[in-house]
Amino acid sequence: MKKVIYTSKAPAAVGPYSQAIETSGMLFISGQIPINPETGKIVEGDITAQTEQVMKNIEAILTEAGYTFDDVIKSTCLLSDMNNFAVMNAVYAEFYPENPPARAAFAVKELPLGVMIEIETIAAKG
């Protein structure tokens, strides 16, 4: 059985999807973009600021579902420009200081609302 996860501490879905779905001890977090949930607006700033907000949004959803970054097994990072990879990677690494998850990173032509980054996440218990 699937359980829909929602928290007001992360941006509300901007389309027909859930923030996250939990099933069979696994948590599937929809792609998060750098929207500040308090203002509903994209954070101002560069790829550092945008990546930090995305990771905070992921953390809020993980927490709501009873998971932590230690439970994350896979991330997919979508970037509007691969020239931002090194900076994104440095911020990302701060949230996974040990035993980081498997990951893929892609440059895409365009992301929702013109953001520079989107990250989707899968976590598992046990």
Per residue in 28-81, pLDDT (tens digit) is: 999 999 999 999 999 999 999 999 999 999 999 999 999 999 999 999 999 999
Tell if the pTM clears 0.85, that is, is over it: yes
CB atoms within 10 A of CB 66: 12
CB atoms within 10 A of CB 30: 20
Backbone angles phi, psi at 114, to 5 degrees: 75, 20
Place of tokens 């809020």: 60
CB 64 within 8 A of CB 92: no
Q: Which domains does the chain have, with CATH numbers?
A: 3-124 (3.30.1330.40)
